[in-house]
Amino acid sequence: MKIWHVGCSSSPQRVDGVNTTVWLVAREQALLGHQVTLLLHSPPDEAAKVLSEEADFKLVHIPANTWRYDLKMLESLLSSDAPDIVHMHSVFVPKQATLAKNIVQRKIPYVITPNGGLDSLRGWAKKIVYSLIAEKCRFYEASAITVVTPKEEKTVRAFAPRYSGIIRWVANPFDTCKLGEQNWKGNVGVKRLVYLGRFDVLHKGIDILLEIARLLPEIEFHLYGTEDSNTKRWLERIRRNCPCNVHFHKPVFGVDKFQVLADASLYIQTSRWEGFPLSIAEAMHLGLPCAVSNVPNFAELFSQHDLGCVLPSNPKEAALQLSKIFEQPDQLVNWSEQAKVFAQKYFQPRTVAMNYLKLYEDINQPSYSVASN
């Protein structure tokens, strides 16, 4: 099968959940014998070239601006090496909307994976206008839409209520090979909570996290990541009044990252919206218990499968719940075991790649078609 993936950066090393997913899925699908191409809007870096050569998939650079890919180069590629299916990752990306129009004209089916982006609170006014102009149309013409948590389907159906194609849950993967033999050490007594990710105050709820920390001076909070340009000034303001039990660190990678997770007492994430964060998946795979906000879609998964602690939205109530957690070591061990089993079942790159391949095959069945809307 000829597969195009659209929506990743030009480097597999960029720290971003969508980017990681695309590169991992492309690698596994290529290793399974399929002809995979990543459509890039900027030239690939050396790490990208090495990975594509190792797994035998193509990197195609077609220059693009905000609204479209270079039309001449795109049409040439579609004429000479048209895919059987195109998989678009993310939402509210105008050049993907124009790409969708081009491939629909050639009767090539495509899949959209929003990755929780429809729940984003950022720029909502502009998104409403853009949705009416282009994004809803792109959704309605998709052959399938995949969600990274079951609850995300409700968001998709609210956004595109007349959509009649396939909606299917496929979890995001992470590179389990990099974990080695590392496991959670069960260091409950040190009361060390960690967060790994961007310091995007609005999206990741860094302000909420600091309010919780302020109420729990006996617990250490260690945040590893990078500043986000959207909320840099906001971050500077709250850091000036940061409680002394909160420590900001540079991002950690590879062995160092997994050591941080293994040594922690609990992983915490207080996001206002999410798809399914890579760091939570990694923590679960190591058996590190997680505490997550009750707003993101993945909180429903945590509640249904008893995977960890779901925190109330109110910081005072969340702080009280966290303080009680450390009085229940048996509960922490139970969450550790449950989460680890879940992660091993759903987050393996090969499993995710094969789930997508099954979806592509279902779409390409002769009897399948998306009803006109």
10 Å Cβ neighbour count for 368?
14
Q: Is residue 320 part of a domain?
A: yes
Split into its structural domains, the chain has a count of: 2
Give the pLDDT score at 373.
41
Predicted TM-score (pTM) of this structure = 0.89
* Same domain membership, residue 19 and residue 51: yes
Residue 62 within a domain: yes
Looking at the structure, tell me whether residues 159 and 180 fall in a common domain.
no
In a domain, 370, yes or no: no
**Domain identity same for 46 and 118:** yes
Q: What is the pLDDT of residue 367?
A: 61
Domain assignment present for residue 371? The answer is: no
Residues 359 and 340 in one domain: no
Is the separation of the CB atoms in 143 and 364 below 8 Å? no
Q: What is the pLDDT along the chain (373 residues), one digit of tens a residue?
A: 999 999 999 999 887 889 999 999 999 999 999 999 999 999 999 999 999 999 999 999 999 999 999 999 999 999 999 999 999 999 999 999 999 999 999 999 999 999 988 988 777 778 888 888 889 999 999 999 999 999 999 999 999 999 999 999 999 998 877 776 789 999 999 999 999 999 999 999 999 999 999 999 999 999 999 999 999 999 999 999 999 999 999 999 888 999 999 999 999 999 999 888 889 999 999 999 999 999 878 888 999 999 999 999 999 999 999 999 999 999 999 999 999 999 999 999 999 999 999 999 999 886 665 543 4
Task: Kindly tell me the burial class for residue 327, based on how many C-beta atoms sit within 10 Å of its own C-beta (0-12, 13-18, 19 or more).
Answer: exposed
Same domain for 71 and 196, yes or no, is no
Residue in the block written with tokens 């040594």: 263
Q: Are residues 89 and 233 in the same domain?
A: no
Show the DSSP H helices in 215-314 as ranges: 232-240, 254-263, 278-286, 298-305
> Hey, CA dihedral for 119, 120, 121, 126, is it positive or negative?
negative
Q: Residue 110: inside a domain, yes or no?
A: yes
* Cβ(294)–Cβ(311) below 8 Å: yes
Cα end-to-end span (Å), the chain: 28
Residues 226 and 332 in one domain: yes
Same domain, 125 and 180: no
292 shares a domain with 157: no
Q: What is the pLDDT of residue 372?
A: 39
Please check whether residues 110 and 78 belong to one and the same domain: yes
CATH number at residue 12: 3.40.50.2000
Is residue 373 in some structural domain? no
Give 5-64 as a DSSP string.
EES--S-TTS--HHHHHHHHHHHHHHHTT-EEEEEESS---HHHHHHHHHHT-EEEE--B
| Integer Cα distance of 308 and 306 in angstroms | 6
Same domain, 93 and 182: no
**Which residue type occupies 350?**
R
CA quadruple 105, 157, 23, 13: dihedral sign: positive
Range(s) of the domain holding residue 247: 176-346
Question: So what's the pLDDT on residue 370?
Answer: 56
Do both 322 and 185 map to the same domain?
A: yes
* Residue at 161 is within a domain: yes
Amino acid code (one letter) for 197: G
